Structure 1
């Protein structure tokens, strides 16, 4: 059999970007099967497709010494049951969004997205170069998990609504699908929150079980046909400005793998993260044009609505900091990174976009 040895230095950087590895023939006496459960239906070809890409890349990089079978949501476990299934060892790997599991600890939200927080580029910077991934795995350790950044959707949207939102009063009494801390904030604004996996969102919205739904962005929303269930498409995504997804592994299983495979898996995950970010960047613009042509009405949240939601966000953040030591530790480090990175992006990319849009005087 064959066994890989990582390429280091400049050549290793190229390998990491392309997920092309150089196999060396070294004896091995064992093969591995690492099944992966996910939170995604097969119809969402960018989300589920990224999980499949990770599986294929692991198989290719190990010359088939690792076999990966990837399951969509519902095939083995429910879309919101991935964390527990991998933690228990029932499955070796899972591809999911960490903020689905804030009921276990609200700190899990940081590793997908925080309201009024980091953009996609900034979130990648924090997780991959700013210490975020290390903090994530400090949080994961008691659950016998290790996770790697493995997908970034870029900025999402404010969601689909079946009525206009002209003031904070219009939020009260709405039934809405909204995960993460964003859902907690909306709840404080009077919204009745439901946390549904992607495959159930259209039917719940179409049948009136919910009045509004936050999902991803134009490309995936079009696949789920949410534009047929609600008319008003609100921007911006104050709650999900740059969400990342995670590849979770059962830590006992991970530690039992040979060293070269353990070192290869995060490289594949990080390459998948970049790949997904590029895919959504390319796909969302054309999809938005199609949605508008089909009758979707793009609206912007009024500033008083955003101001109120931001006020509730600050309150909730402070409450978690005061009650939860690991949350406080992550929040302090994350806030420092956010402030530092914004000192640059505010004068660079932000001002560039303001000029392109004619807003820079």
Structure 2
């Protein structure tokens, strides 16, 4: 018997409504209301670095229609700057944003994931992480601490820092009180320097009072905010202890496991966008900041060749000493060295040749 048109219409409406309800239930199941907190290592004044988790949080919220919200917290609310990785590991917060070097006190292997004296440059570090197997190597190490990590930006090559007097030879570093942390501090200690872990906000006062002879920070855009050229006018380069500095989004392993697959994918995509933006912002902003610093009295000086050569030797010694005591560090350090050698084989053929020509052409006007 033929179905009545009105009946067919009601049946279709009923099926449509049921399908809509079913889809809505599925969406609610796969996209649950989720609220996370992210502790930043960086204050809001460092807008490029603090901006990375803000970008991530905004993209995640937009991609989930606001169902997955991440609150970005500055240092001290409630996690101190130096405690970000520990807080994520302890599940005090679900996420954090900090350089891996923050964890090197517990395990120096962490330093390899961010910045190693005479390590990879920013492009090399990115390639090693995304295509060279580094992500898998570090995943094993971080899992021991209940952590998952996603790339969260890179500063690029950093500056060598601000000195109250110019370094003209390796001997000049003897006895210098220098604000620097991590493995770079161990390298400078071999010169006879005295590493200091002075917090960023206290650097100016330390240099002004002569409690510090020198201090490294980041690069022109961020250094300009501290006004250090007024108290330590010699601005040395490069920061050989940080040929690049890769930052990370840290996620508690249990929090990561509890996320729906769709949220994990969204978080990874948002992190990738934030990661790319950090280096782009620095590359765009550092040139103008450097011009302003020089106009304000900064005296740009390269580290002398003997400083660089001696620093490379001391760095190799530090890495060998750590490798002898830490199997994870040795395994990943050897992998990094192999990748670094291959990268520079390529860079010297095309990248360096091109850049060198263009730099000289610029100098000729």
Contact 1:123–1:244 (Cα < 8 Å) also in 2? yes
Aligned equivalent of 2:44? 42
Shift of 1:297: 0.3
Shift of 1:196: 3.7
SS at match of 1:68: strand
Distance, in Å, in 1 between the alignment partners of 2:187 and 2:248 is: 23
Aligned equivalent of 1:20? none
* Aligned counterpart in structure 2 of residue 215 of structure 1, from 217, 220, 223: 217
Distance, in Å, in 1 between the alignment partners of 2:258 and 2:207 is: 44
SS at match of 2:28: coil
Aligned equivalent of 1:96? 98
Aligned equivalent of 1:325? 327
Distance 1:56 1:44, change over 3 A: same
SS at match of 1:230: coil
User: Are residues 1:311 and 2:313 paired?
Assistant: yes
In terms of Rg, which structure is larger?
Answer: 2
Name stretches of at least 5 consecutive residues in structure 2 with no aligned partner. 1-22
Shift of 1:39: 1.1
Q: For residues 93-151 of structure 1, what are the alpha-carbon distances to aligned partners after superposition, in whole Å with 9 as ceiling and x for unaligned?
A: 00001112211111111111111121111111111111112222211111100111111
* Aligned counterpart in structure 2 of residue 189 of structure 1, from 180, 188, 191: 191
SS at match of 1:245: strand
Q: For residues 66-96 of structure 1, what are the alpha-carbon distances to aligned partners after superposition, in whole Å with 9 as ceiling and x for unaligned?
A: 1111111223222111011110000110000
Ranges of 4+ aligned residues in structure 1 off by more than 6 Å: none
Shift of 1:226: 2.3
Contact 1:149–1:269 (Cα < 8 Å) also in 2? yes
Q: For residues 338-358 of structure 1, what are the alpha-carbon distances to aligned partners after superposition, in whole Å with 9 as ceiling and x for unaligned?
A: 111111011111111222233
TM-score (norm 1): 0.89
Of the structure 1 ranges 274-283 and 99-108, higher mean CA displacement relative to structure 2 is found in: 99-108
Aligned equivalent of 1:281? 283
Name stretches of at least 5 consecutive residues in structure 1 with no aligned partner. 1-23
Distance, in Å, in 1 between the alignment partners of 2:144 and 2:315 is: 27
Q: For residues 271-326 of structure 1, what are the alpha-carbon distances to aligned partners after superposition, in whole Å with 9 as ceiling and x for unaligned?
A: 11111111000000000000000000000111111111111001111112221110
Distance, in Å, in 1 between the alignment partners of 2:242 and 2:357 is: 24
Distance, in Å, in 1 between the alignment partners of 2:316 and 2:266 is: 39
User: Are residues 1:168 and 2:170 paired?
Assistant: yes
Q: Cα RMSD between the aligned structures? A: 1.6
Distance, in Å, in 2 between the alignment partners of 1:286 and 1:55 is: 29
Contact 1:174–1:211 (Cα < 8 Å) also in 2? yes
Greater helix percent: which structure? 2
Q: For residues 243-277 of structure 1, what are the alpha-carbon distances to aligned partners after superposition, in whole Å with 9 as ceiling and x for unaligned?
A: 11000011111111111111221221121111111
Contact 2:230–2:297 (Cα < 8 Å) also in 1? no
Aligned equivalent of 2:27? 27
Shift of 1:183: 1.4
Contact 2:204–2:226 (Cα < 8 Å) also in 1? yes
Contact 1:221–1:227 (Cα < 8 Å) also in 2? no
User: Are residues 1:57 and 2:62 paired?
Assistant: no
Shift of 1:195: 2.4
Of the structure 1 ranges 176-185 and 38-47, higher mean CA displacement relative to structure 2 is found in: 176-185
Which structure 2 residues correspond to residues 141-152 of structure 1 after superposition, within 5 A?
141-152=143-154
